């Protein structure tokens, strides 16, 4: 046992000698280096893309498994964010120049492509949306037309009618 410990100790000395002989230094890390973090983050994300997909496709439970419990947790989180002033702090720290750069670099292309890449989402809801609009339109068309109060009443009927469908237009 002593021989094995002596052997390990000898190797440590050899490694230390090699480091000194070849100009390398070994220094303990007692602080986080933000430059190293930034350089490694993208590599780590890219290296774990397949792991992310596997976890996404094979979750421990589905994201919509318990909507009531999730809603309660969401409400609790929102209340905590309000209590901690999270929204206002985030908005105060927003980088407007970076937002503009992101919109210019990525936004316009992503927006244009969404007409194709997200068409399946729109198509899945278009029947329910059209039915809602037709129902409200029938109500509005049955109301008297005219300047002032009649047109204001029609406008409010449209707004209130469509608001009643908020969150209820689902994929079919």
Each residue's pLDDT tens digit in the chain (172 positions)? 555 555 555 666 666 666 666 777 777 777 777 888 888 888 888 899 999 999 999 998 898 999 999 999 999 999 999 999 999 999 999 999 999 999 999 998 988 898 888 888 888 888 899 999 999 999 999 999 999 999 999 999 999 999 999 999 888 7
Is there a single domain that holds both residue 125 and residue 167? yes
Report the run of H or E that residue 152 belongs to, with start and end.
Answer: helix 149-163
Domain of residue 100 covers 66-117
- Would residue 137 be called left, alpha or beta, if left means φ above 0 and alpha means ψ between -120 and 50 degrees? alpha
Helix, strand, coil abundance in the chain, percent, nearest 5: 75, 0, 25
Identify the residue whose tokens are 């933000």: 34
**Domain C-terminal end among 76, 96, 117:** 117
Cα–Cα distance measured from residue 94 to residue 83, given in angstroms and rounded to the nearest whole number: 20
How many structural domains are present in the chain? Answer: 2
| pLDDT given for residue 38 in this prediction | 83
Nearest CA to 157 out of 142, 168, 169 is that of 142
In a domain? residue 113 = yes
Is there a single domain that holds both residue 128 and residue 167? yes
In a domain? residue 56 = no
In a domain? residue 164 = yes
In a domain? residue 132 = yes
């Amino acid at each position: 046992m002593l021989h094995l410990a002596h052997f390990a100790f000898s190797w440590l000395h050899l490694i230390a000698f090699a480091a000194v002989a070849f100009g390398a230094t070994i220094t303990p890390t007692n602080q986080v280096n933000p430059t190293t973090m930034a350089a490694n983050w993208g590599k780590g994300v890219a290296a774990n893309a397949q792991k992310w997909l596997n976890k996404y496709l094979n979750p421990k439970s589905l994201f919509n498994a318990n909507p009531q419990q999730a809603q309660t947790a969401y409400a609790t989180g929102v209340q905590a964010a309000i209590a901690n002033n999270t929204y206002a702090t985030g908005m105060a720290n927003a980088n407007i120049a970076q937002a503009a750069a992101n919109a210019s670099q990525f936004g316009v292309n992503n927006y244009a492509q969404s007409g194709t890449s997200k068409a399946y989402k729109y198509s899945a809801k278009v029947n329910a949306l059209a039915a809602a609009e037709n129902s409200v339109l029938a109500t509005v068309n049955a109301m008297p037309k005219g300047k002032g109060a009649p047109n204001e009443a029609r406008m409010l009927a449209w707004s209130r009618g469509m608001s009643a469908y908020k969150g209820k237009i689902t994929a079919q």
